[in-house]
C-alpha cells in the first residue's frame, strides 16, 4: 500500500499497542492532562495518526488523525474528548475546503462503540453503529470535504445527557480548525450532520452554537430522525423489541445525573440493575437482542408510572428534551412517517418548536423507509443539501413536505450510483479521494452506469 502524502505533514506517529487498538479506558491517549481548566474550549491536548478500517477489518485509504481536546460536560465542568479528523486520501492541505462535523449514532455506553475506537483498524466493536456509518462519512470525503467525527457521548458513556453532546461536537470543530495538517482556518464553512442518536447530538450542537461557539461559521445542520422527545421514546420502546434503546438511555443518564442514579438504585430490583450493568461492555445490536421485550415495569418497586412521576426523573426528562433553543443556522430534518423506533409525532413537535422560535427548517417526511434504511436511502438528499449550503445556494422554502420515498427522486439517482461505487471502493481498499460531482443528467438514468464506472476507476 502506498504512503499517503498528507500524513507526512504532521510530526506525530501512529501509536502502536499491538494488533488491536486499546479500549479507551485502557489507552493513555485519552488521559486528561493536569491544568485542563486553564485551556480554552477546543484546545488540542495531544494528537496521533491512525488507520481506519471498514468493520475493523478492511483498511481504508483515508487520511486520519485523532485529536484529544478540552471540552466540558453538561454542567460546563472541563473534561477531554476525542475527535477523529479526516481528509480524502492524498488531499492537498493548502486547497480550501469546508468541514463537516459528523455525529455518529453511538447509542451505547460501552466504550467500544465510541467512533474513536470503533472506526479504527483492528477494533473489536462488532455490533456498534459507527461501523455501519463509515460509508456515510466517506461520502462526505468523496465530496472533497474535511470531516470531524467527535466522541459526542464522552469517555464516560453518558449517553442521552443534555447539552454535552453539543459542547463536545462544537469543541471538536474548534480543535479541527486549528489542526494544521487539515489546512483549515477560523473562517472555514462548517456544517453539522447526524442521524438518530447522532441527529439528537446534532440538534444539541445546533441549539448551543450561537451561545457557546458563536465564532464558528456554521452554515447548516442536517438532523435526521433526531429523536424529538427522549422521554416519550423511553416509554414507547420499553417492553418492545427495541427496549434496548430504553435501557441504554437509562444506563447513560444514571451516569450523568447522580440523583437519578440514586432513584434507580432504590426503585429497581437487583436483576434489572444487573442488566444495566451489562450495558457497560455490550455493543448496541447485541444489546437490542438481549433487552428485546424486557419491561422495566416488572422490575420497578412502584411500577413504571410511579417511577416516571418521581420529581428526580421528571427534572432529568425535562432537561434532555431538545428544542428549547432556536438554532441560528438553517436546518434540514428528515423522518420516516412509520419509523419503528422514533415516533414521527415526536419529531413533528421538535420541528414545530424550532419553527415557532424562528429557525429556518426544511422538514421532509418519508412514508416508506424504515429507521435503519432511511439514512442510506436519503443520503443523496442530505449530502446535496450540505453541498448547497457550502456553495451558498438559495435555500428551499421552510416548511414540511411528506413524500413516498426520498430515495426515488431523479436528482437522487446519481447520488445512489456514486454511493454504490464508493462502497465497492471501500470493500477493495481503494483510495477515498474527492470525486467530481456534476448536476444530474436531464436524460435520466441512461448515463448512470458511466458515472458508476468512472467513480470506481477514479
For residue 166, how far is the Cα from the chain centroid? 11
Q: How far apart are CA 42 and CA 169, in angstroms?
A: 10
For residues 322 and 203, is the Cβ–Cβ distance under 8 A?
A: yes
Q: What angle do CA 95, 100, 103 make, to 5 degrees?
A: 155
Output the nine-digit C-alpha cell for 402. 411528506
| Angle separating helix axes 243-256 and 284-291, nearest 10 degrees | 110
Cβ count within 10 A of residue 418: 23
| SS3 label, residue 401 | strand
- The helix or strand, by DSSP H or E, that contains position 333, with its residue range, turns out to be strand 331-336
Q: Is 371 a catalytic residue?
A: yes
Catalytic residue among 107, 151, 339, 384: 339
DSSP state letters, 82-127: EEEEEE-TT--TTS---EEEEE-----SSGGGSHHHHTBTT---TT
Catalytic residue among 101, 128, 196, 225: 196
Q: Is 339 a catalytic residue?
A: yes
Backbone angles phi, psi at 452, to 5 degrees: -60, -45
C-alpha pair distances (Å), 225 with each of 146, 199, 352? 24, 6, 14
For residues 389 and 330, is the Cβ–Cβ distance under 8 A?
A: yes
C-alpha pair distances (Å), 447 with each of 142, 380, 407, 441? 20, 17, 18, 8
DSSP state letters, 267-315: HB-HHHHHHHHHGGG--HHHHHHHHTT--GGGGBTT-HHHHHH-HHHHH
| Adjacent-strand bridge partners of 49 | 65
For residues 217 and 123, is the Cβ–Cβ distance under 8 A?
A: no
Q: Is 405 a catalytic residue?
A: no
Catalytic residue among 10, 299, 371, 437: 371
Active site residues: 196, 339, 371
Amino acid at each position: 500500500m502506498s504512503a499517503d502524502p498528507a500524513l507526512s505533514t504532521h510530526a506525530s506517529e501512529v501509536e502502536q499497542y499491538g494488533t488491536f487498538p486499546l479500549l479507551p479506558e485502557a489507552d493513555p491517549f485519552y488521559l486528561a492532562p493536569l491544568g485542563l481548566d486553564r485551556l480554552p474550549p477546543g484546545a488540542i491536548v495531544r494528537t496521533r495518526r491512525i488507520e481506519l478500517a471498514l468493520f475493523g477489518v478492511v483498511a481504508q485509504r483515508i487520511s486520519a488523525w485523532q485529536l484529544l481536546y478540552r471540552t466540558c460536560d453538561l454542567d460546563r465542568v472541563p473534561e477531554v474528548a476525542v475527535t477523529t479528523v479526516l481528509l480524502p486520501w492524498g488531499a492537498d492541505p493548502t486547497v480550501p475546503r469546508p468541514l463537516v462535523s459528523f455525529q455518529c449514532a453511538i447509542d451505547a455506553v460501552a466504550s467500544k462503540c465510541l467512533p474513536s475506537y470503533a472506526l479504527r483498524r483492528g477494533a473489536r466493536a462488532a455490533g456498534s453503529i459507527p461501523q455501519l456509518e463509515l460509508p456515510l462519512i466517506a461520502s462526505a470525503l468523496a465530496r472533497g470535504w474535511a470531516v470531524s467525527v467527535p466522541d459526542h457521548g464522552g469517555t464516560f458513556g453518558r449517553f442521552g445527557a443534555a447539552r454535552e453532546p453539543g459542547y463536545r461536537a462544537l469543541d471538536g470543530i474548534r480543535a479541527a480548525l486549528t489542526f494544521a495538517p487539515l489546512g483549515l482556518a477560523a473562517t472555514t464553512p462548517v456544517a453539522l450532520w447526524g442521524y438518530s442518536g447522532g441527529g439528537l447530538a446534532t440538534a444539541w450542537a445546533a441549539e448551543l452554537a450561537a451561545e457557546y461557539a458563536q465564532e464558528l461559521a456554521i452554515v447548516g445542520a442536517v438532523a435526521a430522525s433526531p429523536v424529538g422527545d427522549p422521554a416519550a421514546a423511553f416509554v414507547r420502546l420499553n417492553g418492545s423489541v427495541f427496549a434496548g434503546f430504553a435501557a441504554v438511555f437509562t444506563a447513560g443518564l444514571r451516569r450523568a445525573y447522580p440523583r437519578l442514579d440514586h432513584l434507580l438504585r432504590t426503585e429497581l430490583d437487583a436483576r434489572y440493575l444487573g442488566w444495566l450493568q451489562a450495558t457497560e461492555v455490550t455493543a448496541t445490536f447485541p444489546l437490542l437482542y438481549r433487552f428485546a421485550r424486557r419491561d422495566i415495569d416488572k422490575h420497578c418497586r412502584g411500577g413504571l408510572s410511579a417511577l416516571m412521576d418521581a420529581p428526580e426523573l421528571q427534572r432529568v426528562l425535562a432537561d434532555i428534551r431538545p428544542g428549547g433553543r432556536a438554532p441560528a443556522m438553517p436546518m434540514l430534518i428528515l423522518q420516516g412517517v412509520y419509523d419503528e423506533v422514533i415516533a414521527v409525532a415526536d419529531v413533528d413537535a421538535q420541528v414545530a418548536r424550532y419553527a415557532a422560535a424562528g429557525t429556518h427548517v426544511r422538514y421532509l417526511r418519508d412514508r416508506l423507509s424504515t429507521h435503519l434504511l432511511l439514512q442510506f436511502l436519503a443520503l443523496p438528499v442530505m449530502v446535496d443539501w450540505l453541498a448547497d449550503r457550502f456553495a451558498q445556494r438559495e435555500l428551499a422554502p421552510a416548511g414540511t413536505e411528506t413524500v413516498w420515498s426520498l430515495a426515488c427522486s431523479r436528482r437522487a439517482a446519481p447520488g445512489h450510483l456514486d454511493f454504490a461505487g464508493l462502497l465497492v471502493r471501500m470493500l477493495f481498499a481503494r483510495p477515498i479521494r474527492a470525486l467530481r460531482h456534476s448536476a444530474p443528467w436531464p436524460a435520466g438514468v441512461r448515463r448512470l452506469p458511466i458515472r458508476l464506472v468512472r467513480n470506481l476507476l477514479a
